[in-house]
Amino acid sequence: MMIMTDLSNRTILMVIAPSGFRDEELFVPEEFFEKNGAEVVIASDRKGTARGMLGRTASVDLSVSEVDISDYDAVVFVGGSGVESHKLYENEAYLKLAADADSSGKVIGAICLGPMVPAGAGILSGKNATVFESGTSYITGKGANYTGAGVTRDGRIVTGEGPAMAEEFARTVAGALALGD
């Protein structure tokens, strides 16, 4: 049975690398969130067009440094090789966004290499989390308890392992939002 999650009146910020984000990890959750009534806003290093690893493009609504966290119910960090090639986990604007989301009590989602960003901001310390294999030593080095699961939820924080988990990840983020009422 498909459980529908009502996300109307919810706004979700999806954060991507300026290039090399993983297409399914942006588009599958975005479609799921919108289908369930949420508004989705895409942020990156700069406005304009960002190209995914598989060649799809996304229109970037705003720059990460312009984000007002109070406008959003959840922040989702999308993975892909761009997280590493652009070193998003060392980018001050991305780290500040993750820290602001955490201190504001927002739902934080991160998939594939995306969890390296909240880990870099110190948010995963002492939390259960999963990440794409190549990011494991980074997040455990920042204090995360690596679960190895496809999707892991620890309170407001939802992490996913990779593109195959995009739909389950989206559903889990939606569930965390629904419980946040």
- Per-residue pLDDT reduced to its tens digit, 110-150: 999 999 999 999 999 999 999 999 999 999 999 999 999 99
The CATH number fitting domain 11-179, selected from 3.20.20.450, 3.30.70.1140, 3.40.50.880, 3.30.9.30: 3.40.50.880
Q: What is the bridge-based pairing of β-strands 39-44 and 128-129?
A: unpaired
pTM, entire model: 0.96
Alpha helices in 36-165 (DSSP H): 81-85, 92-103, 116-120, 136-141
Query: What is the per-residue pLDDT across 42-67, written as a single tens digit (0 to 9) for each?
Result: 999 999 999 999 999 999 999 999 99
Which of 2, 45, 10 is closest to 176 using CA atoms?
A: 10
Residue 42 pairs with which residues in a beta bridge?
A: 14
